[in-house]
Amino acid sequence: MRIEILVFDGVDEMDVMGPFEVWSHASRRPEFELALVGLDGPASVTGLHGLEFKAPEGLGTPDALFVPGGGWMNRAERGSWAQRAVLAPRIAEVAPHTQWIGSVCTGSMLLAEAGLVKGRPATTNRGAWHELETFGADVKHNRVVDDGDLVTAGGITAGIDLALHIVEREISAEVADGIAATMEYARVRDVYRS
């Protein structure tokens, strides 16, 4: 399974780095592959809090696409809100060809803009719950919401729980628990499943 994490200027660093840490451990197994990707090719990214990092590849045709947030609720000049007009159509284009698409925090709002949450259980940062409802989502207040091919997580650190949940779902609970132990992370198993 190839997971691509879509990154962009103004992305929240923890939205990216928490799941990246989890899936980096999982990618030591042959069934997992992980890549940070820019929208239109390799990208140098400056995160919401100033961290600079690189996405060595561009968005391809992954088995799974993970979309972080950042800059949505405050309508920042950089981030998911500012780039929704270019990010959402590409997400909508890629989504039908994935086994699952996921998000953390206000990355869910990009999925909403892409038309992927209407009539489906989903979550986002608690500050955007109401706005997510306006897109027709059945908003759940869990840290992770698993609706099969749509998996969303609440605010910021909930991305770690989503990533561990995906490892458990795709490989095993033992592997997910082992990664959590390696990271010295106490798992929060607040998962809504359809």
Nearest 5°: phi and psi at 34? -135, 140
The residue whose two tokens read 């869910």 is 108
DSSP 8-state secondary structure symbol assigned to residue 126? G
Q: Is 105 a catalytic residue?
A: yes
Tell me the C-alpha to C-alpha distance, in Å, between residue 15 and each of 24, 26, 47, 173: 15, 18, 10, 22
d(CA 12, CA 14): 6
**Lookup: tokens for 4:** 């691509």
Residue 175's H or E segment, with its range, is helix 173-182
Nearest 5°: phi and psi at 37? -130, 145
The residue whose two tokens read 């698409």 is 101
Catalytically annotated residue among 5, 67, 95, 105: 105
The neighbour count for residue 167, using CB atoms within 10 Å, is 23
d(CA 168, CA 115): 27
Catalytic residue positions, numbered? 105
